[in-house]
Structures are given as structure tokens and as C-alpha cells.
Amino acid sequence: MSTSTQRPYATPPASSPYAEQDTPTFEAYGGDWSEIAEEAARLGEERIVVNMGPQHPSTHGVLRLMLEIDGETVTEARAGIGYLHTGIEKNMEFRTWTQGVTFCTRMDYLAPFFQEAAFCLGVEKLLDITDDVPERASVIRVLLMELNRVSSHLIALGTGGNEMGATTIMTTAFTAREEILKIFEAITGLRMNHGFIRPGGVPQDTPPGIVDDVRKALKLVRHYLGQLSDLMLANPIFKGRLVGVGHLSLAACMGLGMTGPVLRSAGLPYDVRKAKPYSGYETYDFEVPVLQGADSYDRVVLRIEECYQSMKIVEQTLERLEATAGQPVMVADKKIAWPAQLAVGADGQGNSFEHIREIMGTSMESLIHHFKLVTEGFRVPAGQVWQSVEAPRGELGVHLVSDGGTRPYRAHFRDPSFNNLQAVSMMCEGGQLADVVVAVASLDPVLGGVDR
């Protein structure tokens, strides 16, 4: 670890404002900022270096912000990450391709379906079965991803409002999100970390009556989104805290690799669903909202509008679910297709009794196949692939490398929160200390995805 050094201006240029002064400056090279604070105290400098964190609020995970402040003004800001490291990517190298879904779903735990989808789409490319995935399976994937986008944005809106003292915003957003989590539980058996999207499709069809349940949920979510809009968008106190705060221009976004609502708030309508469609997104009717303000307020407006666009897509998936009723949801190739017939019972999701009875009592071949595919897994041809999807926080990508075995040789994810956190310094420096939480909340980072 390098140390902080004190470097006074020796011979500043004539145009420098320090030409007639002897003003010390401090530079940090990845070290602990406590050393800077000690050096500043020794020299009698009238400034403070504070640690905001490691903390959880507004960051959906543990983030450390190192802030140098002059009074209430932030003169320098840096983000410290790594407090939530789980080693997910490395662990995936020691599990089968299908088991990898159970790992990657836990990275950004507010948007699990997007990681599952990106990973499985990449595996399907390596297997060369992209066109073999049943239409109904793709429709179910899109349904889950778009509902997940809404639930994730509701968390961003709710926790961001709560950090500014508006608890009503949080309770309203969480109440709306609860309706979506009920749908997830009905379809997958779990509220979060589902592991439901598998290479080749999904492990089971949607339960009876789910179309009506989703329509009822959408009606309630629209009602709560209307309440959130009334609470926030025309509220002079809310606008006073957000308008002009956390500004990040389009040039800065492009230079830092920003994507998602932050990039679109600066005027660029980049969306992976439109730019590089997957799972049949090119066949759905929806818009990519953009604004020009490039501040925290515009990001709130964008997330609300994106919720409405996602619900528009969900309504189209419901029509397709009705039209494809009874069709398969997993590839026909039994060397790849997950060999289970799942059902949601009183004790949770598991193999149906009929499936267990068949493989245990009537078909030795089915039992052997089930055992080998579950324990050993299928082989994936050697090669590498890149696959990206449009997650709630921006472009989520996965780079998969296969050596021809039953496990990934390498799995690496490009999480949007990791890139977006690079903007903390540019968004916060020169602003007020109270604006730091607003700026960070407008990024909506999830540290589970950052640290992995």
C-alpha cells in the first residue's frame, strides 16, 4: 500500500493562483486517508477528512466514502469498496454450468433475474442453442426481468427518499414492491435469489392463474407509482434537494463508462434491449425515455417512466403467455435440459411426486440420466462468449470461457454499479456534504454486484 505524501508547490507557474503563496497540497495513491488527516493536523490545516461509512444507507450494501470537507463543502471524494466481497466469480469455476446460476443470482440481489438471464444467454451461445430455446421460455424470462426492473427501481426511489427523511416515500415504494415479490414467489418459489432461469429455458411453467394475478398486481403498482409521483415530482422540498445535484454531463458519462438511467438522464438513449436485442425484445413495443438535465432529479423521473415502460412490456408478455399455453419451457435436447419436473408444494419448490415416482420406480435409465446430469453436468464446447443485458442500473455483461468441460473455466461479470461508482468524485466534489447521499442514491449502486 502506498503512502500519502505532502507536496508543497515548489515553483508554480506565474498564472497559478498559488504563485504568491506557499500552500501545501496532499495527494493520495490508494492509501488510507487517515494519514492525510494526520499530516493536515500536523501542519495546522483548517480542513477535515471524514469517513462516511463503511455504511449501508442508499447503497444497498457496505460502501465507504472518504470525504475531504472545507466547512460544509466537499473538496474531494473517493469511494472505498470491497467490504462485501463474496468470491462468486471464482466459486463458479468449481460448479457446473447450471449450478452457476445459483451463484450469480446473488450478486446484485435487487436484480437477480438479469444476472441469471445474462449468464444463461451466454451459456446458450456457447452451446449454439440460442434459437432452440422455446418461445414460451423467453416470454417468461422477459416477464420476470421487467417485473424485476420495476421492483428494483422502487427500491431506488424508496431508499433514496428515506435517506432524505421522507419515510412515506420508502413505505409507499416498498408496499408496491411487495406486490411484485408475491408474483416472483408464486412463479419461482422464492422472493429473491431465485436461480430460476436455467441454460435452455426455465425449469417449470408458470402456475395456473398467474396471468390474472400479474394484471391485478400491475394495477396496484400503478396506483402506488402515482402516489410516489405526487409525493416527489412536484414537491418543492424534494426538488430543492435534487435539482442540479449530482450533475454528470454526457461527456463525463461517456468517459467513465456510465450506462443505465444515469447515462439516459444526460440525453443518450442507449439501451441494450434496443441496441443489441436478446430474448425477443425486438418484438416488443416500448420506448427508451431520456432527459437532458443530467442531475439527480432527472434520474428519479426516468426511473418512474421506466417502470411504466416495463409494465407496458409485461402486459405484452401476458398476452403471449395466453397464446402459448401448454408449450414447452425447456430445450428438447435431454443432454442439456434440466431433468427435473418441479412443483411448488407445502414445503417449498422441489421435484413433483410424479417425477420422483417415475425415475425411482419405473425407469432405471431416467434415474441414471438424472443422477449424471445433476451431479456432473453437461459439457460445453471450448470457446468464449460475451453477453450483455439491460439491467436496472445499466449494462450488465458476462464474459464466459469454456475449456470443453462441465464447469466454466472463467466467468467474469461487468456489473454496472462498479462502473457507475467511478462518478462519485465528479458528482460530489464542490457540492455540499448533505448532497453526497443524494448523489450516491441517484446512482443506485448495489455493492453485492460491485464486490462479487
pLDDT, tens digit, for every residue of 258-296?
Answer: 999 999 999 899 999 999 999 999 999 999 999 998 888
Both 72 and 173 in a single domain?
A: no
pLDDT of residue 9: 32
pLDDT of residue 190: 85
C-alpha to C-alpha distance for 111 and 389, rounded to whole angstroms: 12
- The answer to whether 396 and 104 are in contact (CB under 8 A) is no
Both 275 and 172 in a single domain?
A: yes
C-alpha to C-alpha distance for 177 and 171, rounded to whole angstroms: 10
Both 46 and 175 in a single domain?
A: no
Interaxial angle between packed helices 135-163 and 210-232, expressed in degrees from 0 to 180 and rounded to the nearest 10: 30
Domains of the chain: total = 2
pLDDT of residue 114: 94
Residue after which a domain boundary falls, among 33, 54, 80:
80
355 located within any domain: no
Query: Average pLDDT for residues 7-27, to the nearest whole number?
Result: 46
357 located within any domain: no
Nine-digit cell at 56?
A: 449501508
C-alpha to C-alpha distance for 298 and 301, rounded to whole angstroms: 5
Both 41 and 133 in a single domain?
A: no
Both 385 and 240 in a single domain?
A: yes
Of 12 and 179, the one with more pLDDT:
179
Residue after which a domain boundary falls, among 80, 103, 128:
80
Query: Average pLDDT for residues 202-222, to the nearest whole number?
Result: 92
Both 113 and 177 in a single domain?
A: yes
364 located within any domain: no
362 located within any domain: no
DSSP letters of 194-216? ----BTTB-SSPPPTTHHHHHHH
- The answer to whether 428 and 435 are in contact (CB under 8 A) is yes
194 located within any domain: yes
SS3 325: coil
Both 325 and 396 in a single domain?
A: yes
283 located within any domain: yes
Query: Average pLDDT for residues 234-244, to the nearest whole number?
Result: 88
358 located within any domain: no
pTM value is 0.84
Answer yes or no: is pLDDT of 215 > 90: yes
- One-letter identity of residue 389: V
pLDDT of residue 338: 75
Percent of the chain past pLDDT 70, that is, above it, reads: 85
Both 46 and 172 in a single domain?
A: no
Q: Look up the domain containing 26 and give its range.
A: 5-80
Both 38 and 143 in a single domain?
A: no
SS3 412: strand
Residue after which a domain boundary falls, among 80, 104, 128:
80
Both 70 and 115 in a single domain?
A: no
pLDDT of residue 160: 86
Answer yes or no: is pLDDT of 52 > 50: yes
Answer yes or no: is pLDDT of 30 > 80: no
Containing 54, the helix (H) or strand (E) segment is: strand 48-55
* Per-residue confidence band for 2, with pLDDT thresholds at 50, 70 and 90: very low
Answer yes or no: is pLDDT of 398 > 90: yes
Cell 394475478: give the residue.
Answer: 213
Nearest in space to 200 (alpha carbons), one of 112, 121, 279, 136: 121
Both 63 and 184 in a single domain?
A: no
Both 325 and 278 in a single domain?
A: yes
Lowest mean pLDDT among 4-8, 130-134, 289-293, 360-364: 4-8
CATH label of the domain that carries residue 383: 1.10.645.10
Nearest in space to 89 (alpha carbons), one of 383, 398, 422, 417: 398
Average pLDDT, the chain: 84
310 located within any domain: yes
